Structure 1
Amino acid sequence: MPDESRRDSITRRRYMRYGGTVAAGGLLAGCTGPESEGNSSVDVETDDDSDYSVEISPVGEVTFEEVPTDVMSYSPQYADMLVALGHDESLNSIGFADYGETLSYFFDPLEGVDFDAEGLTELFSNGSFDKEVLYELDSDVHLMDPAWTSTFDGWSKDDTDEIRDNVGPWFANRYSRQHASPPEEWAADYQFYTIWELTEKVAQVFQEEERFAALQEVYDDMYGTIRANLPPANERPTVGLVTYYDDQFHPYRITGPGFGKAHVRPLEARDAFADSNKTYAENYEAAYDFEGMLEVDPDVILHNFAVTPFYDWGEITDTLEDHPLGQKLTAIQNDRFYASGQSFQGPIQTLLQLEMTAKQLYPDQFGEWPRYEPGDSYPDFDEDERLFDHERVEEIVAGEL
C-alpha cells in the first residue's frame, strides 16, 4: 500500500468532485429518468460553468471539469466504447492484454477502427490486481465497477473508496452483464442497464453524445431489419450456447437478461436450455457430459468466447468431431457448431456479434456464416451481405458525423 507521502504527492483529480451525499443508496433500481420515484436530484457545487455531471449506478453522480484524457479500463466493453467514441488514445491500461486480440478480431474489417493493446498496463496479475498500480497510473477516471472491484482478492469497499478519494472516480457497471447479484453492501439500490444505456453514459463522460446517437441509429436500423425478417417461431432452430472445457459442456440461457446476451437474445431462437437448472445463471458449477448434451441435442451450438484467445477452438472442434458421442450431435453432423463471440461486448462488438449470430442461426434469411479457423479475423463481407452499414460505423469512429 502506498505511504502517506505517496498519497500526498498525487494531484487530486482536477475534475473529481462527488456530489457529497450521493451514493448508491440514492439511485433508483430501474432505468428511468431523474423524476422517477426513489431517485432524488442532487445539487453539485461547481466552480465553473463548464463543469458537468454524469450519474451511474453503483457510483452515484460524478462531476467533471473537463473530458478525461488518462483512463483506466479493466473490461473490454469499455475499451470498445472508447474506440467507438474516438477516445481510445486516452486508455492507459486493460485487464488482460489478450482482450486486445479479441477486439482486433472484430475490428479488423472496419477501416480505421482498431485497437492496440501494446503499451497498455495489464492490470490482472497473480489472481488479482495491485492497488499500487492505480496510484502509479494516476488515472482521471477508472472505467471499472467498484462493487465488482471490491470482490478481488485484497480489495474491499474501503479500498475502492480510497482510490476514489486519492486518485480518481470509478465509473462503470459490471453486473448488468447478466443481472447477477452484486456484493451485499452494494445490492440494495443497484441498477441494471443495457449496453446502449451504459455506452450513452460513457459518451456523456467524454462529451460524445452525438457520436453515440449516430452509432445507436446504426444499431436500431439493423435491429429493425433483423426483426422484420425472422422466420416463423416454429421454424427457428433450437440453440445451445455453451463453453466446453474439462470434457464438459457449460450452458447458458440465450434468453437470459443482461448485455452479455445482446447478440443472441434479439434473434428469439428456441433456447435448448430454457428449462435447465444447470445454466451459468442457475448453477455456475453445473455442466453436461457428452451423454447429457446428446439428450439435449440442439440444432445449433454456439461456443461462447470461442473467438477469444481463452479457448483453443481447433482443439475443441477436433475433440467433439472425434468423440464417439460428440460426433452424434446434430450440430456437429450438420456443421452448425459455431465459434461465437463474447459477453463482454461494447457497442461495436454488439453490432458485429449480432450480425454474426443472425447469419449463424438464420443463413436462409441473412446469409451464410463462414467456418471460423483460429487466426481468422471477422469476415469482410461484401456490401450486399452486411446487415448494417459498416462504412457508417467507420465514419462515426473517425468523427465524421
Structure 2
Amino acid sequence: MNRDARSRRQVLAAIGSAATAGLAGCGFTSLGDQGDSIDTETSDNPAGPTDSATPSPRTETTTSTSYEACMEPVGCLTFDEPPERWVANDGIYCDMGVALGLADQLGGIGSPRRYYTGYYEELPGVTLDKTNYPALSRGTRMPKEPFYAVDADIHLIDPAWLTNTFGWTETDVEEIATNVGPFFGNYIREQHDVWHTYRYYSLSEVFGKVAGLFGRRSRYEKWKAIQSELTDDIQSRLPDDRVELLLLRPQGIPPRSFFPQYIGDSVSDLQWQVVEVDDTLKGSGIPEWGTRIDYETIARIDPEVIVMETQFADDFVLEESFREFVLGHMREHSVARNLTAVENDRVHAGGINYQGPLISLFQTEQAARIAYPDEFGEEELFDRDRVARMVTEGG
C-alpha cells in the first residue's frame, strides 16, 4: 500500500488511534464500546456478536461502505476499506487472521513462540510458515523499530499490554499508531493481571470484532456455527460424573516442579469450560498465582487426570517426546509413580494456552477425548474439510 492511501485510512481511524495513545498507560480510563462492527460480506446482521452497544450515528446514516469495530481499551476504528497488512503478537490474534483467510496479508508476529501452527496440518489448504515472517520481539524486549520495518496497516495488539509488559510509554504507543498504524486488541488470554482493569471479552466476541473490521464477518458466523455445534455435541454426551482434572504448566526437562493452573473463565481455559471437568485445585489451599508445586503436593491432592499445557509452540509438551521426557520420568520417580493418574496412564499433553478460533476447535476436541475417553475415544468431533473451506473459500 502506498503512503497516500495509508494516510487517508489513518484519518478515518483517528478516533481509535487517539484513544489508544491516550489510554494505554497504567492509569488509563476505559472508553468502553462505542459502536459495533459492520462490513459488506454480510449485510443482514451489522451488529456485533453479543454486544448491546448502539451503533454510532455515522454507522446508521452513511451510505458508503465502511469497516468499523469498537473494543476496550482502544475505542473505535473506522476504515473506508478493510486493512491490508496486519500484525499480531501471539496465537490468539494470529489464529483469528488465519481463520479469516488473511494469512497472506500477515506482516509480522510479535512472539512466534506463542503461536502453534501444527493443527493447520489437518486443514486442507491451510498453511502458515512462521519462519517467513519477522518477529517483532527481541527476547524480553519489544522495540519500536520492527514495527516501522513491517509497516502494517493495523496492529492486533492490546497497547495496555505493551505498556505494562514491555515498558512502552503512552508516547511510544501514539508514535507507532500515528506513524505506522493503529492498535486494536484486548489481552484476553488470562484474567489475573492487575493492570487489566477494563473489560475482558470472550474469544467469540473479539473474533467477531476483528472479522467486522476486515469485512469478513460471514467467516466468523460460519466459525461460530461450527463452534456451537461442537460444544452442543460434547455437552450432550457428558457423563453425569465429572472427572477430576489437574492442569499444570511444567518447569524444566524433565519437569520437577509445576505452576498450578486453576481453570477459570479465560480464553486459555475455553476447552475445559466446554467439557465441564472438576478442577482439583479448587479447595486445595494452593495459591492461584505465583507459586510452584512439587510431586509431593500433587500426591496430596492426587487427581484422576493430569494435563500439562504450555505457552510455547516449541515446548516438549506439544511433541512426541512428551511420553519420554514427562511420563518416563514420572514412572520412575519415587513419588510420581504412585499417583493415580500415572498408574492409570491418564497424564496428558494439553496443548498451548494461546488459542484462537481454529486452535480452540482442536483443543476442545482433544479435551473431550482426554477427560472422557470412554465416550469420545479418538473420534473426530468436527469436520476438518468444512473448517478448511471456511478459511480458504469463505464458505
TM range (shorter): 0.7 to 0.9
Residue number in structure 2 paired with 1:158: 171
Compute the TM-score of the two structures, normalised by the length of structure 1: 0.83
Q: Deviations over 1:28-50 (max 9, x none)?
A: 69x63214xxxx95758999922
Q: Tell whether 2:130 aligns with 1:130.
A: no
d(CA) in 1 for partners of 2:261, 2:106 = 32
CA contact (8 A) 1:10 1:138 kept: no
**Corresponding residue to 2:237 among 229, 241, 244:** 229
Q: Tell whether 2:46 aligns with 1:33.
A: no
CA contact (8 A) 1:71 1:140 kept: yes
d(CA) in 2 for partners of 1:41, 1:147 = 25
The residue identity in structure 2 corresponding to 1:34 is A
Between 51-60 and 308-317, report the one with greater CA deviation. 308-317
CA contact (8 A) 1:13 1:167 kept: no
d(CA) in 2 for partners of 1:137, 1:45 = 35
Residue number in structure 1 paired with 2:128: 115
Residue number in structure 1 paired with 2:191: 179
Q: Deviations over 1:154-199 (max 9, x none)?
A: 412221122112211111111x22223452xx63xx1111111111
CA apart distance, 1:209: 0.7
**Corresponding residue to 1:65 among 80, 100, 103:** 80
Residue number in structure 2 paired with 1:269: 277
SS in structure 2 at match of 1:301: strand
Q: Tell whether 2:358 aligns with 1:315.
A: no
CA contact (8 A) 1:147 1:182 kept: no
Residues 1:18 and 1:204: Cα distance change in structure 2 (over 3 Å): same
Between 359-368 and 16-25, report the one with greater CA deviation. 16-25
**Corresponding residue to 1:301 among 296, 299, 306:** 306
The residue identity in structure 2 corresponding to 1:158 is T
Residues 1:137 and 1:337: Cα distance change in structure 2 (over 3 Å): same
The residue identity in structure 1 corresponding to 2:53 is P
SS in structure 2 at match of 1:263: helix
d(CA) in 1 for partners of 2:57, 2:282 = 42
d(CA) in 2 for partners of 1:157, 1:318 = 49
CA contact (8 A) 1:358 1:366 kept: yes
d(CA) in 2 for partners of 1:107, 1:44 = 36
Residues 1:109 and 1:273: Cα distance change in structure 2 (over 3 Å): same
Residue number in structure 2 paired with 1:341: 351
CA apart distance, 1:347: 0.5
**Corresponding residue to 2:261 among 234, 252, 272:** 252
Residues 1:50 and 1:306: Cα distance change in structure 2 (over 3 Å): closer
Q: Deviations over 1:47-75 (max 9, x none)?
A: 99223321111110011121122111111
Q: Deviations over 1:336-365 (max 9, x none)?
A: 100011221010111110000100110111
Q: Tell whether 2:395 aligns with 1:390.
A: no
d(CA) in 2 for partners of 1:182, 1:398 = 39
d(CA) in 2 for partners of 1:13, 1:147 = 24
The structure with more helix, counted as a fraction of residues: 2
Alpha-carbon RMSD across the aligned residues, in angstroms, is: 2.6
Residues 1:95 and 1:25: Cα distance change in structure 2 (over 3 Å): closer
Residues 1:32 and 1:398: Cα distance change in structure 2 (over 3 Å): closer
Identity %: 30
SS in structure 2 at match of 1:364: helix
Residue number in structure 1 paired with 2:8: 14
The residue identity in structure 1 corresponding to 2:142 is F
CA apart distance, 1:26: 2.7
After superposition, residues 347-386 of structure 1 pair within 5 angstroms as 347-368=357-378, 385-386=379-380
Q: Tell whether 2:169 aligns with 1:169.
A: no
Compute the TM-score of the two structures, normalised by the length of structure 2: 0.84
Unaligned runs of 5+ in 1: 1-8, 369-384
CA apart distance, 1:298: 0.7
Q: Deviations over 1:215-234 (max 9, x none)?
A: 110111111111110000xx
CA apart distance, 1:272: 0.4
CA apart distance, 1:11: 7.9
Residue number in structure 2 paired with 1:243: 249
Between 67-76 and 298-307, report the one with greater CA deviation. 298-307
The residue identity in structure 1 corresponding to 2:258 is F
CA apart distance, 1:303: 0.3
d(CA) in 2 for partners of 1:307, 1:133 = 21
CA apart distance, 1:324: 0.7
SS in structure 1 at match of 2:84: coil
Residue number in structure 1 paired with 2:47: none
CA contact (8 A) 2:33 2:76 kept: no
Residues 1:46 and 1:64: Cα distance change in structure 2 (over 3 Å): farther
